[in-house]
Structure 1
């Protein structure tokens, strides 16, 4: 008599919610200091369930970095839509980034800075996959700023100038992330960000971006 094969149990957890819980563990502790036991405790799942759903610790980490990059891009994009004109839109984006870095957003309630800048930069020297992911995250930020400047200046700014300014704006956010994680006040970070926008970008889109 043929024995009927038992099917595996269907997953009874929300993968997105679970990834966000995993993300917070990595965000708080970094990749190397995070253990699978800590991830299991945070998610309420055992190791076999975690492996089946998300793969190895490294695969989990790369997944949450990618998820964070998507969430941050959406967060900053939405902030940019709350203002009109290049200068105000950039300041709104900087404010939204600082809120995120200081734990004042729906993504995180602690001042951990940027997940990628805070945790991924310490891993890139030893792993080409992490290095590639870091480059991807940085390029996404550069491209986001470049697209906004291009849109608002309507072709009046040379592409080389535009890319240069976008990269500098990204650098400002990278530095602000580090300062946020060390506990610098939101007010101080806001002042630094606004001063950077004032220096790098004119108040009217018809002027030339430096």
Structure 2
């Protein structure tokens, strides 16, 4: 057998695009309610091809958790860069998050809320890997909010106080995700987010 034959034929599909399709299936249905048949139907790939490219159903899910977190971080960072100061940047971040949660971005056109908050909590008691994945997403947001607040505090806000405010803001955005998935009006959610930023951020 030739070395080429051992390696198999090259893949003829776009792995990033396929991961995005897998993400949408899990995002809509959750982990437990998603079947490999649903993933195969959405991606147009059979099970052996899916296993070969992405591993098990669990492997696929954990891959798209990270993919979502990366996409969301880039989306929110772009929104923040258009503003100056902690409060304007945080309000822009919340507004961009609400657009994402309510299906008004190119990441998803559906009102699914936050992928991590919508899908991971129901699984964390059954599997430590899911718990670790959720903790990583939450810590990522806590840290980024905290760094932004501390930076703009210009020495007037301690790192500990900034991190405390960041954790509360993260809890607010997680609650907004749930309300967005329930169907609440995006503008009302943005008003609530703005109020939270005004009350919690002193700079």
Q: Secondary structure at the match of 2:94?
A: helix
Q: Which has the larger radius of gyration?
A: 1
Unpaired stretches in structure 2, ≥5 consecutive residues: none
- CA-atom RMSD in angstroms: 1.0
Superposition deviation, residue 143 in structure 1: 0.5
The separation in 2 between residues aligned to 1:4 and 1:64, in whole angstroms, is 35
Superposition deviation, residue 154 in structure 1: 2.2
The separation in 1 between residues aligned to 2:114 and 2:196, in whole angstroms, is 19
What is aligned with 1:195?
A: 195
What is aligned with 2:51?
A: 51
The separation in 1 between residues aligned to 2:189 and 2:132, in whole angstroms, is 29
What is aligned with 2:138?
A: 138
What is aligned with 1:21?
A: 21
The separation in 1 between residues aligned to 2:70 and 2:53, in whole angstroms, is 20
Superposition deviation, residue 67 in structure 1: 0.5
**Contact 2:120 2:134 (8 Å CA) reproduced:** yes
**Contact 2:141 2:170 (8 Å CA) reproduced:** yes
* Structure 1 runs (4+) greater than 3 angstroms displaced: none
- Aligned positions of 1:102-121 closer than 5 A: 102-121=102-121
Q: Secondary structure at the match of 1:113?
A: coil
**Contact 2:145 2:166 (8 Å CA) reproduced:** yes
Superposition deviation, residue 118 in structure 1: 0.3
**Contact 2:149 2:201 (8 Å CA) reproduced:** no
Superposition deviation, residue 61 in structure 1: 0.1
What is aligned with 1:208?
A: none
Q: Secondary structure at the match of 1:162?
A: helix
Superposition deviation, residue 201 in structure 1: 1.2
The separation in 2 between residues aligned to 1:172 and 1:45, in whole angstroms, is 39
The separation in 1 between residues aligned to 2:143 and 2:95, in whole angstroms, is 19
Q: 1:19-39 CA deviation, whole Å, 9 max, x = no partner?
A: 000000000000000000000
Say which structure is richer in helix: 2
Asked whether 1:62 is paired with 2:62, we answer yes
What is aligned with 1:147?
A: 147
Q: Secondary structure at the match of 1:45?
A: coil
The separation in 2 between residues aligned to 1:198 and 1:157, in whole angstroms, is 15
What is aligned with 1:75?
A: 75
Q: Structure 1-normalised TM-score?
A: 0.93
Superposition deviation, residue 105 in structure 1: 0.8
The separation in 1 between residues aligned to 2:156 and 2:70, in whole angstroms, is 29
Superposition deviation, residue 4 in structure 1: 4.6
- Equivalenced residues, count: 201
**Contact 2:103 2:111 (8 Å CA) reproduced:** yes
Evaluate the alpha carbon distance shift between residue 160 and residue 41 of structure 1 in structure 2; reply closer, same or farther with a 3 A threshold. same
Q: Secondary structure at the match of 1:16?
A: helix
The separation in 1 between residues aligned to 2:57 and 2:88, in whole angstroms, is 41
